[in-house]
Structure 1
Amino acid sequence: MGNSNDVVLLYKTYDIVTEDNNSSIKYPGDAGINADINSIARISIVSTILDVVCRTTGMGFAAVARVTDTKWIACSVKDDINFGLKTGGELLLETTICNEIREDRQLVVIDHVDKDERFCKHHTPAMYGFQSYISVPILRKDGSFFGTLCAIDPKPALINTVQIRGMFTLFADLISMHLSSQDELLASEAKILEEQKISDKLQEALQTGNMGTWSIDPKTLHVSMSDNIKELFGFSLTHDISMEQIMEAIDPEYHKPLTDVLTNAVEKHKSSDITYSITNLVTKERKWVRATGKVFLHGNDPVEYSGLVMDVTADKMEEMRKNDFIGMVSHELKTPLTSLNGYIQLLQRVAIKGADTFAASALGKAHAQIKKMSNMINSFLNVSRLEAGKILIQKHEFQLDELLREIIDETDLTVSSHMITFLPCCQVMIYADHDKIGSVISNLLSNAVKYSPKGKQITVKCEIIEDSVVVSVKDEGMGIKPNDINRLFDRFYRVETKHTQNISGFGIGLYLSAEIVERHDGRIWVESQSGVGSTFHFSLPLKAQEIV
């Protein structure tokens, strides 16, 4: 049968290439076909299936074929009749019955070609010289057509039985299952490889950016961290790190803030972002680090608290130099400005005494401008002190409603362009820094005046909400866009629009206000609608007995 010249011309064969002790077929020109052939080659049970098929049916040739709309390729072959087709060999698709099976996906069984009404005159048996034939489709898990499990023999065979058809169908399903398992395995391996690549790139990025990873078990407080972070703190690279060692490396002034951060993470599942100083336990070198963290939950239970640590020493030192410079310049400016203010006030009194109204008015305006500049310089000094951790909060008891009235009255004296309304408020005694809270209120009122048109209303309200007192300053100005609100309390941040380009300011007032409120364990926020206006709120903690 294999010696027929007509048969030999109908197929091509390709050599088996062995790589790493695994037989694989190098099918030229089609990577997809090549992958499919090698998928069958990796299923070790296929050779056993073909052997069982031949033994059970008495047929001499059996194969698993990959069948597409253009090709018929032998993926695995058992040939006991010298048919001549090897693994990797290709038959012309149109010469096969498998092409018809691909279209209708039905099993075909022929006991005796010459006596079969459908196939006695079919071109395929005549071309390949077989009398018995069986072929069953192999479908992938997704229902797509892979190929066939088939067998032929030049002699008739009794194979159209329930048992033989069932066996072939079972074997085809078994091959399909193995193909699906391989697909899933290859997909998993590809995913693992991709994740490894991402992990390698992330690790490279972390090392380049002087960053490392850390993790804390919320239940046991067991700590793990990457080697570069261990080196930064001066820890051993080979031993576990305890919480006590970490606290030893962290400068004492940051022990409580970090303890609070850890407590909030474990108990309240809060994310964290904190900058603090450390002293390397080996080199004794002082460094600044920034640690960010997030709590991961399983249901409502925290299972991991982890994040990044960054060496920000260079940035921190540069920031400290800038603050020192701002503090020095502000201090140097303040001395001559104080003297100038004294002279202006003296001249103003002389002008008033001499009934020189023009000079008195001009000197009054000069005095107002000097006061404005003095306030600006004080703001810069406060920023410098704040960043250096030297700003002092001196708390004592005072009535917040009286402070509000005082500042509103002072503002009314210098601002005639807006109507300021102070809504009725109960007497509220608070424990806070009188001057610092006063500067917060002044800043909010000043901003309401600056960022709203002349003639508009400004409303100040003070109310008790649960265990806090909330102060609100509402304007009818230009409003704030949502993308600006998140950064409004950042240092030196200013909203840049065509309406604000002619408004003076350095973007430090709201930053200082937020820091002052935070140091009073309060909260500051804004509600705004572009084109309608804004309402700035700040809250301060309040005990029940503080309400008069």
Structure 2
Amino acid sequence: MTGLPDSESVAIARDLEAVRRVSAVPTILRILCDTTGMGFAAVARVSDQTWTACAVEDHIGFGLQAGAQLELATTLCVESRAARAPIVIENVAESDLYRDHHTPRIYGLQSYVSVPIVLGNGDYFGNLCCIDPRPAQLDRPGLLATFTAYADLIGRQLDLEGERLRADQALVHERSQSALLEQYVAVLGHDLRNPLGAIMACAELLARRKPGIDPSDLVRRILASGERMSKLIGDVLDFTRIRFGGGLPVQPRFEHDLAAALHNVIAEMAVQHPERTVDEALQIRGIVWCDTARLQQLLSNLLGNALVHGAADQPVRVEARLTGGELVLRVANGGDPIPPDQLVQIFEPYYRPPSSRQGGGLGLGLHICAQIAAAHGGRLEAASDALQGTVFTARLPVTQPLVPPAVG
């Protein structure tokens, strides 16, 4: 299925699984071979782009298995699909219509039956086929009606499979919504309660004005807790926009000094982590079409993650450059590598590794970073090993203006 559009590949995989779930199909194909004396029978998915075998009964070594494909133009199913009508050939050599046709010549066929499989909504699914290198007696009473009845039965079963799949998807969506509600409750009931409690405790101490208490220290704690609450709320709001708005909204514009904007983020993070070293190499010479605030958010999340989880005795490195029509933004830190089973989950919402400390965030930061990259038409990648440490790389196209998605 290489070279096919993603939508067609997904549809083929879905339909292969749907036919596999129809338990009557192998029996139907076996009965048709026994009834006609033909050696090969199949259920084929036939679209305007592809011919795919979904189920096969093969007694002549034709060589096709479920999932195999034939070039669409070489098949007679394409003609059956165009006419929405069966094709029956008893003996190719004696047929005025098909003796010189390319399909029998390519595949060495002498007898052929192909009956359309149409779904309840009128969509064309494919064909129920039989072929053989020998002639076959196919003008017997009721034979074509048998093929048609079996094709209708398969179509109805596929309709039922489609309904079951939609019901399963609805159930998954309902469970997802329930899980999302539980997560919101957890944020309100636990994650926000902690910094709010710290603010209230500090405020109470300030109100009492007990001797020996440094007001400036309490104010700093209040500000830090307030910033933490603001970030938690911002992450939840961004995730809500992603979940219900179909993606994270961006407002791109021409940025003349993106390097300075990114440097400001690094400087702010350095103030918060004076004990750490951050090396930067920002080589962005040119105008960039982007949402600067969102890219600052992306860098802030990645850099904060590196400072928290990276080795304290090794610097964090931030690189940014324009190359090949892309903005490449990279954040790297040393330390123990992320295990492969965790690395594949790292961009999932609310994912936090087992080693995460209490109060370390909601597990939305990296998910939001990936969505910021996607909203710019790019991608965010992660790599981690003992040699290079952990590296997050955002690759964002900057050669074509983005169309900001509708908000609301």
Q: TM-score, normalised by structure 2?
A: 0.53
Unaligned runs of at least 5 residues, structure 2: 1-16, 26-42, 56-115, 125-158, 403-408
Which residue does 2:176 correspond to in 1?
319
> Percent identical across equivalent pairs?
16
After superposition, the Cα gap between the structure-2 partners of 1:203 and 1:522, relative to the gap in structure 1 and judged at 3 Å, is same
How much does 1:403 deviate? Answer: 2.3
After superposition, the Cα gap between the structure-2 partners of 1:520 and 1:426, relative to the gap in structure 1 and judged at 3 Å, is closer
> Is 1:509 equivalent to 2:365 in the alignment?
yes
How much does 1:377 deviate? Answer: 3.0
Which of 240, 264, 276 pairs up with 2:118? 240
Letter in 2 for 1:240: V
Q: Which string of whole-angstrom CA distances, capped at 9 and with x for unpartnered residues, describes residues 166-203 of structure 1?
A: xxxxxxxxxxxxxxxxxxxxxxxxxxxxxxxxx99953
Q: Which string of whole-angstrom CA distances, capped at 9 and with x for unpartnered residues, describes residues 390-428 of structure 1?
A: 655132223432221121111112111211121142334
Q: Report if the CA contact (8 A) 1:478-1:533 is conserved.
A: yes
Q: Which string of whole-angstrom CA distances, capped at 9 and with x for unpartnered residues, describes residues 460-500 of structure 1?
A: 00012211110000111222223332222122333335xx5
After superposition, the Cα gap between the structure-2 partners of 1:392 and 1:458, relative to the gap in structure 1 and judged at 3 Å, is closer
Q: Report if the CA contact (8 A) 1:424-1:461 is conserved.
A: yes
Q: Which string of whole-angstrom CA distances, capped at 9 and with x for unpartnered residues, describes residues 419-474 of structure 1?
A: 11211423343333333322221111111011123242011000122111100001
- Matches of 1:317 and 1:390 in 2, distance apart? 17
Which residue does 1:495 correspond to in 2?
353
Unaligned runs of at least 5 residues, structure 1: 1-198, 208-213, 227-237, 247-281, 290-309
> Is 1:468 equivalent to 2:326 in the alignment?
yes
- Matches of 1:505 and 1:449 in 2, distance apart? 14
- Matches of 2:194 and 2:289 in 1, distance apart? 33
Which residue does 2:294 correspond to in 1?
436
How much does 1:389 deviate? Answer: 2.3
Q: Which string of whole-angstrom CA distances, capped at 9 and with x for unpartnered residues, describes residues 289-311 of structure 1?
A: 5xxxxxxxxxxxxxxxxxxxx83
Give the secondary-structure state (helix, strand or coil) at the position aligned to 2:222. Answer: helix
After superposition, the Cα gap between the structure-2 partners of 1:313 and 1:533, relative to the gap in structure 1 and judged at 3 Å, is same
Which residue does 1:458 correspond to in 2?
316
- Matches of 1:392 and 1:404 in 2, distance apart? 20
Number of residues of Structure 1 aligned to a counterpart in Structure 2: 272
Q: Report if the CA contact (8 A) 2:306-2:331 is conserved.
A: yes
- Matches of 2:313 and 2:187 in 1, distance apart? 35
Letter in 2 for 1:539: R
How much does 1:348 deviate? Answer: 12
Q: Report if the CA contact (8 A) 1:320-1:387 is conserved.
A: no
Letter in 1 for 2:382: V
Which residue does 1:68 correspond to in 2?
none
After superposition, the Cα gap between the structure-2 partners of 1:287 and 1:460, relative to the gap in structure 1 and judged at 3 Å, is farther
Report 1:192-207 matches (<5 A). Answer: 203=21
After superposition, the Cα gap between the structure-2 partners of 1:201 and 1:240, relative to the gap in structure 1 and judged at 3 Å, is closer
Which residue does 1:274 correspond to in 2?
none
> Is 1:449 equivalent to 2:314 in the alignment?
no
After superposition, the Cα gap between the structure-2 partners of 1:417 and 1:388, relative to the gap in structure 1 and judged at 3 Å, is same
Which residue does 1:386 correspond to in 2?
242
After superposition, the Cα gap between the structure-2 partners of 1:525 and 1:243, relative to the gap in structure 1 and judged at 3 Å, is farther
Give the secondary-structure state (helix, strand or coil) at the position aligned to 1:521. Answer: coil
> Is 1:417 equivalent to 2:285 in the alignment?
no
Which residue does 1:7 correspond to in 2?
none
Give the secondary-structure state (helix, strand or coil) at the position aligned to 2:330. Answer: strand
Give the secondary-structure state (helix, strand or coil) at the position aligned to 2:322. Answer: strand
Give the secondary-structure state (helix, strand or coil) at the position aligned to 2:216. Answer: helix
Give the secondary-structure state (helix, strand or coil) at the position aligned to 1:393. Answer: coil
RMSD of aligned alpha carbons? 4.9
Which residue does 2:377 correspond to in 1?
521
Which residue does 2:340 correspond to in 1?
482
Higher strand content, 1 or 2: 1
Q: Higher Cα Rg: structure 1 or 2?
A: 1
Which structure has more RCO (C-alpha within 8 Å, separation ≥ 6)? 2
Which residue does 1:538 correspond to in 2?
394
Which residue does 2:264 correspond to in 1?
406
Report 1:370-385 matches (<5 A). Answer: 370-385=226-241
Letter in 2 for 1:380: V
Which residue does 1:103 correspond to in 2?
none
After superposition, the Cα gap between the structure-2 partners of 1:242 and 1:469, relative to the gap in structure 1 and judged at 3 Å, is farther
Q: Report if the CA contact (8 A) 1:480-1:530 is conserved.
A: no
- Matches of 2:192 and 2:349 in 1, distance apart? 25
Q: Which string of whole-angstrom CA distances, capped at 9 and with x for unpartnered residues, describes residues 354-413 of structure 1?
A: xx9822122202321231233123213322332222655132223432221121111112
How much does 1:536 deviate? Answer: 0.7
